[in-house]
Amino acid sequence: MLHLHYTNLDSTNAAAKRLAAMNPGQMLLVSARTQTAGRGRLGRTWQSPAGGAWFSLATPAPENALVTQSAPLVVGAAVLETLQELLAAQTPNGTSAASPALSIKWPNDILLGNRKVCGILCERTLGAASADENRPSAALILGIGINANMSAVQLTDVRFPAVSLADVLGHPVELPRLIDACGRRIAAGMETLIANGLPCSVLKTIKRHLAWKGCRVRLAQGNREIDGIIMGIDALGRLMLRTYDGVEMCNAGEVTTVRPVAAPSEEPLAV
Ligand code: BT5
């Protein structure tokens, strides 16, 4: 995997897209110290001051719906496992038990103590006709932003409370090592996904760390809002929500509101 690091970029996702177009079939890791136009989902802005781990992987990938849909889960699980190892390595007895818990706000925001430490943006480039079938020119651009060595108090107007690794650890982490470790784990997960489908280990990690399991939430899907209780995820990584109408499997969406499950005296949501 070729790793290209820049002092400043507009967006590592945008740069990875440009570079992937020039290097079809090649896996690339693109990172930057700062981004001037860091992108979130749905056209939102990602604040990217110095001290964060801002990077993207351009992964050659066939234009296959299952691969495209599952990639964010693979990336989320890989980053969570890497952060778990990093936090464990920072504690004297080698466990992360002393740190606030890592969890996944489905589908792939990573929370540390219920505050957002990492956001993920997966995009797809369309492939041009390739002479070599084994080297697909279509690529997935997997963008990862980890609040690492800056403090989250620098961030303004965040829609969900944020935190950085340094806020929790009280000292900086080695950024190149963190980016490299995440990149390797994501690349391995993507290879398995493309060859064999969604790895069980990914589902296991997400199930184990799913935020707000058993809580009543509101999921926004475009203009639609679904209220229900998070039951878990299914074998395709879809969020299972128990609503008044039954269990709904959700492919996409964003949890916007969380409430504890109704007390017995309140009207129960259960069907
Ligand atoms: C995401 O979007 O969480 C995906 C973020 C992906 C960023 C990476 S950085 C490397 C690569 N290159 C890019 O250009 N992007 C990727 P979303 O769920 O839509 O969250 C965006 C919202 O989070 C914003 O509207 C803010 O409210 C908030 N936000 C902005 N910067 C933040 C930060 N550094 N930490 C936490 N929250 C932030």
Q: Is the pLDDT reported for residue 268 higher than 50?
A: no
CB of 189 shorter than 6 A to ligand 1: no
CB of 153 shorter than 6 A to ligand 1: no
pLDDT at 47: 97
Choice from 46, 117, 182 to test ligand 1 binding pocket (greatest atom count within 8 A of CB): 46
pLDDT at 93: 63
Q: Is the pLDDT reported for residue 66 higher than 50?
A: yes
Nearest residue CA, atom 26 of ligand 1?
A: 158
CB of 141 shorter than 6 A to ligand 1: no
How much is the pTM? Answer: 0.92
Question: In 10 A of CB 21, how many CB atoms?
Answer: 14
Question: In 10 A of CB 171, how many CB atoms?
Answer: 8
Strand partners, 28: 2, 58
pLDDT at 177: 97
**Segment 138-188, tens digit of pLDDT:** 899 999 999 999 999 999 989 899 999 999 999 999 999 999 999 999 999
Given a contact cutoff of 8 angstroms between Cβ atoms, the answer to whether 147 and 129 are in contact is no
The CA 118 to ligand 1 mean position distance, Å, reads 8
- SS3 at position 85: helix
**More confident: 205 or 265:** 205
92-101: average pLDDT: 67
**What is the rounded CA–CA span in Å between residue 176 and residue 16?**
18
Nearest partner of 147 among 110, 183, 185, 176, judged by Cα:
110
H/E/C letters for each residue in 145-193? Answer: EECCCCCHHHCCCCCCCECCHHHHHCCCCCHHHHHHHHHHHHHHHHHHH
pLDDT at 271: 29
The CA 192 to ligand 1 mean position distance, Å, reads 27
